[in-house]
A and B are shown apart, each in its own frame.
Chain A
């Protein structure tokens, strides 16, 4: 396998419109969630991490954000490479405005035009794990020498379908995001556009060592302990590492009462000594299909700039795991995980070069 480097990254999320803004906001504390409302008896007001960027309509806002984030990642150097668009909601926000039809090809054509992209394009939707699976697929393609450059673009923007669906499933918190928290009561959703530019010919501070996606049919709407363990084992094996070599795990820890407990149990089963853990959900919300790319972009920048996300509230001691209050002294290998709908458990391993 050829080494695959994280050659560029870009991010727009509730913390800011680029990585520098986001790091500055993180240093000052977590982003303040706005609220979003959904109709009906089970509806109401829910906290929501919106990107602080207004535009006249969904398409114009998406275009500007995609172009900004891709430019921040250096996408202009990669336009003949492979583009992986990752999303769980496509442009359903524009459909809701009557400005688009439900048409996958029209959606990808729109983004291709915005980026003036001329290489092959894939649109991956595995719900919350979409951009992590896009990263794993891109890594395999580049590692096999099939391609030299790729851009993984996670796009998850405001729409009624996602918020209404999660509210209907009673998965949303009415208060705040509390990863592994004692009083956790659900997810706080958020928006993000994130880009990870991968290259086999441009060395960079991080490389992608491997990854794994494990779909488990036993819990179609959540995580399962055997699948979490299987995911870590496969990701480590694909990266040629042992569990003892892991210095930091970026967990899902979305604040879901059930899923956080399953994830914690899986961590304890997969690691003899659970490595330091970090969660970014309280900082930027759960950004669904964009979350894998968004959290890797932010975390890798945090580790380089010695910025650390604040832990939100009291951790649930019964889970047997805790979030690191500060960055570990030395971090060479990081596992970034996202657990999602469709029984999907995904993990990517990053190695500091």
Chain B
């Protein structure tokens, strides 16, 4: 049995002093249920993700305790990909008729901080200032620019586009457009990446309601089909975040490449069919690299594509139409649900000022994060 999305709900992303992640999650669930036209007791199972909240499944204390099975999920920045995949799979296997994926987070300000032991790494790696994700992204794009002729201006164009898209999104965090010159004048954090080329950890929540495709007509005239969910971890030889060493020789593809290929194969859909994409833009360089790693262009083509506006709303392949991580920040448990929320609006044709023209039929969502994990979800009308 196929799974379809019948409802999406998103708590705005940003900073909400005094409001807990669970309260944001409850708001997102209520919005998703309202969008689907179902009541909480109709939900037969839920998959709930968060980094900061120890028991994210406790958010049902705000919805009505009714014994519904809830499973906590966590895959770093790919957490929401896993929540959606499991919610869809529970329907595909026939276990449940109607499920929900929920994600929430409320991060302190600044770069993510943790002890290296959480990633199985020795203490010295953190003591000496190397247990950070941000510098990895600087190193990966620096090498990529060297190999494929990507310029600093292209990094700035990507960030400017995402701020511009966020300015048309009332749920986004950073809604003030920034010019390429302003972005290029912001302080370097990890060369060549500057302050306004990075996303920041923040707060927010999302929820997605799914049901059996053959029952969707009871709830909506415009179900969005889940065509593929794939998740892959890193292989030996891939250049991955939080790696004190990497084997020499031919590099293995990133988990993004593996997850992407698997998702296209499952969906029977090719990169040329993708009408709108949400790609993990932890930083502007990541969006550029992920275009190629997801098969949406060849290495190096981004320089021309982005200069020509192909990834803008109205371009050939709009990317991060809601502002992406750069415009919305990254509450880890919810970030991927924001992507699904945006794709569902785009495929329904209800994205308002940021609607992709031409009735897009295929949407593509991609997540990537530590310790080298990627999730891809493909949706279609």
Q: Do A and B come from one complex?
A: no
A residues contacting B by CB (< 8 A) are none
